[in-house]
Amino acid sequence: MATSSTYNMGALTDVLPPLPLVQPPPPPAHRPAPRRRPSPLEQMPARVVACVARWLEPDLRDDDRLFEGPSPDLVHLSSASPDLRAMFNRELWHSATYVAPPLAGPAPQAPARDLIALHDVVSTGLVKPVHNLSLVGIVSEVKVVEQAAHKVYDAEVQGNALADVVGRLGGVDGSLEAVRLEEIVLFRDVMERILARMTLNDRLKSISIKNVTSFDLPDDKKDPYLFCPVASLACLLVVDSDPLFILLAGQCPALTTLAVASPATLSKTSLESIVYAMPNLKRFSMVAGSCGTTSRLLLQSLLPAPTTVDIPRDLALQELVIDLGNSSLDILVQALALMPQLVKLVILNAGPVNPGNFAGLVHAAPSLTSLIVLAGDGSSGVSWTGSINTYAALLGRLDELEYFACDFLVGPTRQSARQSVVQRPVRATTYAPPLRAVGKAAISLQSMFIINGKEGDGKWTGAAAKYSRIGPYRNTSVTVTDPESLSLSALTVGRWERDACRA
């Protein structure tokens, strides 16, 4: 049968279903590009960028392929952190933080190239001068190597490099404004060189030193060191560190904020440096010495008795934090007569408080807006004597008082045959009416903290909620807490440091 070479298209279309028209694919719906999650580095302001120096694995430390950038010394910057490289390229580095790697047992210290890496970055011009510098966790060890008749100290190389880092990061124009040293142990001469480099900056405003100690090299001469005067320094914090840094206070004519916290009793030279700085201070914190010895010596030196330092009659202090070491308020009351501008007062370990010395305190500082009196645990006797109504009446003399905190509600002690003297927190209902009396007496009072004597005691929760509004204008809030939950002095000093950096 012959096959036709032509097709009846009409017949095919009658039998087969019509083919669907091929339509072009619809354009994709407009969707915004997925937002890339910013790195922690990009979330920080340009002035608060941290550079964390990290350890490399020992087997990778000598791999040349990891070395990128202008210098092979940039090990910890180029190997594990591309964000840091991008940051350097954008020239956003206005703050630098050197965090030393943790030490695991007898592991060797960081090589010198890790310490001078920041110096190399600055010397190559990749970054701008630094305004805020933090050095954290640097510990030096003495390694004595006998070479002929000479002793070589390996750690001196680290110290010299670190001092050079501080000097170079400040920039030639002296752009360094704030320095924070924390958890550092260095040789004394190295520490002095670092401080000398810092004090050469004309724009330096704040120095914060916490848990920083120094020690002398063997056979080293202990010559006295003089710091360069820093005309611009306004804030100096020395917390649990070498008293050497306190000597800097007497060399700064513009110093307005000084905080000293030391477990040891300060020397006469350190006290004289503080006394020299007192006339211009507006914020001062002294938590040093056992049993308040340092605080008492300082207050005695401020009194009109003959001293070696000429102190003006009236000081410019506006905020004062002082630890009396369970001593009486009497000497502080005498010193308050020299502080007519004082508006905020924090007294730690005030010792026995009675209506007499409390009345003297109120009379000596009538313009207080914040008053915190913590008498301690009462180990030397009853901390507070007298009725709370009496103290409420005395608080009523402070017309501008807005914040008040005390530990009056630490309960009485009891002695038993099997127990020593223990603290007994009193019931909430016992002091509920007196709390209302405090609110009525201090008309301007807005916040009142009652420090409970026993941590975790839930009896005061209901009292704080029930009497949360006790003032005559219902504007006073009462908070009952325990001593461990309210670090008043730390919060105050932290605020001072932030204010100094913002200035």
Lowest mean pLDDT among 71-85, 385-399, 406-420: 71-85
Q: How far apart are CA 376 and CA 215, in angstroms?
A: 34
Checking if the pLDDT of 364 tops 80, the result is yes
Cα maximum dimension of the chain: 140
Name which of 369, 302, 361, 321 is nearest 341 in CA terms: 369
**Cβ atoms within 10 Å of 454's Cβ, excluding its own:** 15
Residue 284 reports pLDDT greater than 70: yes
pLDDT in tens, 12-51: 344 445 545 555 566 666 556 555 555 443 443 332 222 3
Is the distance from CB of 321 to CB of 492 less than 8 angstroms? yes
Percent of the chain exceeding pLDDT 70 equals: 36
Tell me: pLDDT of 335 over 60.
Answer: yes
One domain, residues 460 and 353: yes
**Of 190, 80, 176, 74, which Cα lies nearest the Cα of 139?**
190
Amino acid at 236: L
H helix intervals, 316-410: 330-336, 355-364, 388-395
Tell me which of 214, 233, 252 is where a domain ends. 233
The yes-or-no verdict on residue 188 having pLDDT over 50 is yes
What per-residue confidence (pLDDT) applies to 165?
Answer: 58
Strands 144-147 and 150-153: antiparallel
- Contact present, 179 and 95 (Cβ < 8 Å): no
Backbone angles phi, psi at 203, to 5 degrees: -110, 10
Same domain, 212 and 257: no
Lookup result for tokens 């990009």: 42
Phi, psi for 207 (deg, rounded to 5): -130, 120
Q: Which structure tokens are listed for 274? A: 């503080």
**Closest by alpha carbon to 76, among 109, 104, 113?**
113
pLDDT at residue 348, as a whole number: 78
- HSE-up (13 A, CA, CB side) for residue 381: 10
Across the chain, mean pLDDT equals 60
Measured CA to CA in angstroms, residue 474 lies from 436, 450, 470 at distances of 10, 18, 6
Residues 125, 242: one domain?
A: no
CA distance 281 to 342: 11
Q: Are residues 128 and 264 in the same domain?
A: no
- Say whether both 93 and 213 belong to one domain: yes
Is residue 206 pLDDT above 70, yes or no? yes
> What integer pLDDT is reported at residue 385 of this predicted model?
78
Q: Please indicate, yes or no, if residue 489 is contained in any of the structural domains.
A: yes
Residue 351 lies in a domain: yes
- Bridge partner list, 323: 348
Same domain, 166 and 241: no
Confidence grade of residue 360 (pLDDT, cut at 50, 70, 90)? very high
- The least confident of 97-106, 193-202, 361-370, 441-450 is 97-106
Residue 61 has pLDDT above 70, yes or no: no
**Is the distance from CB of 114 to CB of 75 less than 8 angstroms?**
yes
Whether residue 329 sits in one domain with residue 215: no
The reported pLDDT for the residue numbered 12 is 39
* pLDDT of 262 strictly over 80: no
**pLDDT band of 314, cuts 50, 70, 90:** confident
Residue 311, pLDDT > 60, answer no
Residue 19, domain member (yes or no) = no
Q: What is the DSSP track for 287-341?
A: EESGGGHHHHHHHHHHSSS--SS---SS----EEEEE-TT--SHHHHHHHTT-TT
- Judged against a pLDDT cut of 70, whether residue 64 lies above it is answered with no
pLDDT at 260: 86
Average pLDDT estimate for 227-238: 80
Q: Tell me whether residue 494 is in a domain.
A: yes
Same-domain check for residues 209 and 257: no
For residue 321, is it within any domain? yes
Residue 232: pLDDT band (50, 70, 90) is: confident
Going along 40-105, which residue ranges are E strands?
A: 95-99
Domain total in the chain: 2
Secondary structure of residue 355 in the 3-state scheme: helix
Q: How high is the pLDDT of residue 491?
A: 52
Distance CA 454, CA 409 (A): 10
What span, in angstroms and rounded, lies between the C-alpha atoms of 130 and 122?
A: 9
Residue 242's pLDDT band (boundaries 50, 70, 90)? confident
What range defines the domain where residue 362 resides? Answer: 236-503
Higher pLDDT, 246 or 485: 246
| Domain annotation covers residue 29 | no
Last residue of a domain, one of 233, 249, 283: 233
Q: How confident is the model at residue 456 (pLDDT cuts 50, 70, 90)?
A: very low
Mean pLDDT of 275-294: 78
* Between residues 455 and 367, the one the model is more confident about: 367
Clarify whether residues 344 and 266 are in a common domain.
yes
The pLDDT of residue 36: 54
Q: 91's torsion region: left (phi>0), alpha (psi -120 to 50) or beta?
A: left
What is the DSSP secondary structure assignment for residue 353, as one 8-state letter? B
Q: Which of 210, 233, 256 is the last residue of a domain?
A: 233
Residues 271 and 153 in one domain: no
Higher-confidence residue of 62 and 136: namely 136
**What tokens were used for 124?**
């190559």
Confidence (pLDDT) at 160: 56
Backbone angles phi, psi at 370, to 5 degrees: -135, 130
For residues 399 and 323, membership in a common domain is answered with: yes
Higher model confidence: residue 356 or residue 479? 356
What residue type is 373 in one-letter code?
A: V
Task: Report the share of the chain in percent with pLDDT over 90.
Answer: 2
The tokens describing 312, both together, are 């003006």
Between CA 156 and CA 452 the distance in angstroms is 51
Question: What CATH number does residue 420 fall under?
Answer: 3.80.10.10
Report if residue 25 sits inside a domain: no
Confidence of residue 361 (pLDDT cuts 50, 70, 90): very high
Q: Based on the domain organization, do 340 and 441 belong to the same domain? A: yes
pLDDT bin (cut points 50, 70, 90) of residue 164 is low
Domain annotation covers residue 266 = yes
- Compute the CA torsion angle 162, 54, 79, 40 (nearest 10 deg): -110
Question: Which is more confident, 490 or 338?
Answer: 338
